[in-house]
Structure 1
Amino acid sequence: MAGPSHYSMPLPTFDAPVKLLAVASPYYKDIYDQQIAGAKAICDQAGVELEVIEVPGALEIPTAIGIAERLSNFDGYVALGCIIRGETTHYDTVCNDSSRGLTLLGLQGLCIGNGILTVENYEQAAVRAQADGQNKGGGAAAAALHLIALERRWGNAGKTVGFTSGNLAKGGETV
């Protein structure tokens, strides 16, 4: 008996160009190479421009995305990396904090596909990263594209999410 099937939504189409930034950690270089290959293939298929930057590890990915959002003009982001359980609780910290950082950025309105693998061993990472297999790098790129499509569909430049300096009056009262 086969396992559960996984549905992949068709890639969205865009009337205007899309620029994605992949922020990736090459800590496990062969895993990284497969994740990047998968993300590039999806972007090529969708006709989307993809730029790739590298950071030392998964904890730096949310910070780099935050910097890019403030200082650049990307429509969305792809977070790529790999965290393999070791002998200490550092694994839990890196998994939780990198995920939390990406979630907080997403809740602020950034379109982010999270492709940071959190696995027990190298073999699990290799299976998930394989561009012609589970292709989690491609899946993260597709997720970012779907969020961009939603943002463009519902876009309203006048709305913000969260706190901004413009929506608080003196004393912390909401304006």
Structure 2
Amino acid sequence: MSLSHHFLRTTRTVHLYLGIFTAPMLLFFAITGGLQSFGLHETSRGSSYAPPAWLASMAQLHKKQTTVMPLRRARPPEAPIAVAKPDVPTVKPLPAGRADAKPGKNLLPMKTFFGLVALGLLTSVSSGLYMAWRYSRKPRLFGAVLFAGISVPLLLQLF
């Protein structure tokens, strides 16, 4: 067997088992990222929506690698508007959001795009796992590596 053939075979094997090991986390990131792009993991001001605890916890794990939810500080009360003298122009307060945010921008197309990207990643990883399992010559090794890819992140959560 030539050196280039041996290198290609080794590269394919490493790619296969690294893909199997990382597939569970890629699926997790695709699902939680897709849900986060629509803001389903957090409450918004002026809304009665409260996200499910599991969704908020998984979003926190996605973003901060921990399931511990930070305590939110109470919003300070808005200061009363001072009455200005007639010869002094009044300054309008900035909106509660970011000062540089452009009002009226439609975010739905970009959110939809990222949701479709998450769905594409989910489909791609799932089909890759199926093909790796279906055409595997070593199903026990496939199962062991997949189990390791699921259990290692769960065990790391204990630390």
Q: TM-score, normalised by structure 2?
A: 0.25
Q: Which has the higher contact order (CA 8 A, sep 6+)?
A: 2
Structure showing greater radius of gyration is: 2
User: Per residue, is there more helix in 1 or in 2?
Assistant: 2
